[in-house]
Amino acid sequence: MLDCVIQGGTVVDGSGGPARRADVAIKDGRIVRIGTVEEDAARVIDAKGKLVTPGFVDVHTHYDAQAFWDQTLSPSPLHGVTTVVAGNCGFTIAPLQPEHGDYLMRMLARVEGMPLPSLQEGVPWDWTSYGEWLDRLDGRLSVNAGFMVGHSAVRRLVMGERSIGHHATPDELEAMKQLLAESIDAGGLGFSSSWATTHNDPNGEPVPSRHASEDEMVELARVCGGFDGTSLEFIPAVGRFGPDRVDLIARMSAAANRPLNWNLIAPSTSPKQMAVMENNLAASDYARERGGKIIALTVPCAIESRLNFESGFVLDALNGWREPMALPAADKMALLADGEQRRKLDELAQGPSPLRGVAKWHVLTVGEVFAEENEQYVGRTIGEIAESQGRATFDVLCDIVLADELRTGLYQPIRGDDDETWKLRVDVWRDERTVVGGTDAGAHLDLLATFNATTAMLGSAVRQRGLLSWEEAVHHLTDVPARLYGIKERGRLEEGWWADVCVLDPDRVAARPTYARYDLPGGAWRLYGEADGIDHVLVNGREIVVDGEFTDARPGTLLRSGRDTSGTGAA
């Protein structure tokens, strides 16, 4: 008897080939037949009128910590995701020594927007090696999950406080290479790092990876070349890549003979932003000529960002704002309350910075407020409020933020939800130098809701606008990212492959509105959202989502390099 038959659906197998009417038979976690199935099964899923696709693959997440308090890795599976890659941007919580745990959790709280109380209460922090950490997660998760080895964690463990402000000595570099090799040998999927100017530690200093020399970057990348099925992930800069960064990522990829993906392209019809995008995509051409392979991640949805002065993330990338945003709350409030300091901060914010547009205070919309006096401002822009009061926009903003003790939710305008930008996104997805990804799911819990990118993409680009076929869209969400990371026997529906399957309603699929959900350890909240039209999600043949609700099944595989991945050469 079969374990499960998905009956009567239209199979979109992930290859990009034409859809076909077929049943899908599953036994022992694998697909055993695609076609007409007449055998009895313990479970029959009626898929008439539905699409049967591979589960979606999200290659840029930060579920490393959440995996300890939420084994479903919600809400990603509600949006059809069955495989995630975490440990990106150099931010992992292993390898570890006891004296570095506090620094790493505070760094994660700062750069990835994970509430510190949740990290303190929800994560045990009692392992040392990378392999011990993976073993703690093995067999506990709903989805398949693989993890990169983070540069900042490795650098902090080897160099301690010298990881900030110093280049590595030859001995320290050798120790880092050895530690990275041991971590990959234990199952790490490769090496991740960041030189993003938005990545600052709890003291306001650039995170450890940002203090590395180019030689360190290339030598650590080279370590991956000794292990099958590994990859590189790196953020070389925020904004336009200079020639030095283009050359660096090409050398890293060539030294490792592995693909390097970088985060992030957010397509924009702005001529200035299009020029930046073309400049950065040209890094792929440069690398190809030198034996490397560079791939850009592109998030497949419109983006709405929520800023707040409590964490200061993103705001700390403004000119001269790094140190002020790292101050303790009381000191930060005192700074914002001082009229002269306000003026200086505003002037600095208008100075040169890749994210200078963040300082367009008048376009920010007031969201969540905590002081009764601020309730009148909810849903209004700072510009509207300032005009009605005859006051300067930054003064109005500061007063609102101070009344809320820095916790005000400030929403930037949604970028790119117009037809022209959606058409541009599709063109970018079709560029062989890109791959759909970059959701940051599991991170920036009070800043972004791009965890819903898969259903937002299918609902907006395919169902509503008809800009590409279901076959092409599913191919971008499944097979392309799986092949980038060399994930074996996943990303397509094929006989003999693992049964990671999504049954979706093509007439309903969409991302639902996001909201604040108070379900984190320590009583903290996060932005959250479910989906419509994702009816069944199976991982290794077992249902983890039924009609938009999680089951108790935890069938996910802990993906280990060389066992569950292979290939991924730069050629």
Instruction: Give the model confidence (pLDDT) of 407-461 as tens digits.
Output: 999 999 988 899 999 999 999 999 999 999 999 999 999 888 999 999 999 999 9
Q: Averaged over 75-90, what is the pLDDT?
A: 98
C-alpha dist (Å) from residue 400 to 197, 340, 381:
27, 18, 12
Q: Where in the chain is the domain with CATH 2.30.40.10?
A: 2-55+507-558
pLDDT of the residue at 81? 98
What proportion of the chain, given as a percentage, has pLDDT over 90? 92
Quick one: fold of 2-55+507-558?
Urease, subunit C; domain 1 (2.30.40)
Instruction: Give the model confidence (pLDDT) of 358-406 as tens digits.
Output: 999 999 999 999 999 999 999 999 999 999 999 999 999 999 999 999 9
Residue 538, helix vs strand vs coil: strand
The two structure tokens encoding residue 534: 């994702």
In angstroms, the CA 308 to CA 295 distance is 32
Helices 151-159 and 170-185, packing angle to 10 deg? 130
pLDDT of the residue at 354? 82
533 neighbors 463 (Cβ within 8 angstroms):
no
Instruction: Give the model confidence (pLDDT) of 155-206 as tens digits.
Output: 999 999 999 999 999 999 999 999 999 999 999 999 999 999 999 998 989 9
β pairing state of 293-298 and 190-194: unpaired
In angstroms, the CA 332 to CA 328 distance is 6
Confidence grade of residue 570 (pLDDT, cut at 50, 70, 90): confident
Confidence grade of residue 509 (pLDDT, cut at 50, 70, 90): very high
Whether residue 571 is predicted with pLDDT greater than 80 in this model: the reply is no
What proportion of the chain, given as a percentage, has pLDDT over 70? 100
Q: Which residues have CB under 8 Å from 206's CB, separation 6+?
A: 164, 197, 199, 200
What is the DSSP secondary structure assignment for residue 207, as one 8-state letter? Answer: P
Amino acid at 264: L
pLDDT of the residue at 111? 92
What is the DSSP secondary structure assignment for residue 441, as one 8-state letter? Answer: B
CATH 3.20.20.140 given to domain 56-303+416-482? yes
In angstroms, the CA 355 to CA 397 distance is 18
Our measurement of the distance from residue 40's CA atom to the centroid of its chain's CA atoms, rounded to an integer in Å, reads 41
pLDDT of the residue at 430? 97
Q: Which residues have CB under 8 Å from 337's CB, separation 6+?
A: 398, 402
In angstroms, the CA 502 to CA 529 distance is 18
Q: Where in the chain is the domain with CATH 3.20.20.140?
A: 56-303+416-482
Instruction: Give the model confidence (pLDDT) of 454-488 as tens digits.
Output: 999 999 999 999 999 999 999 999 999 999 999 99
- Of 295, 217, 287, give the one whose Cα is nearest residue 254: 287
For the whole model, what pTM was predicted? 0.92
pLDDT of the residue at 446? 87
Mean pLDDT (the chain) is: 96
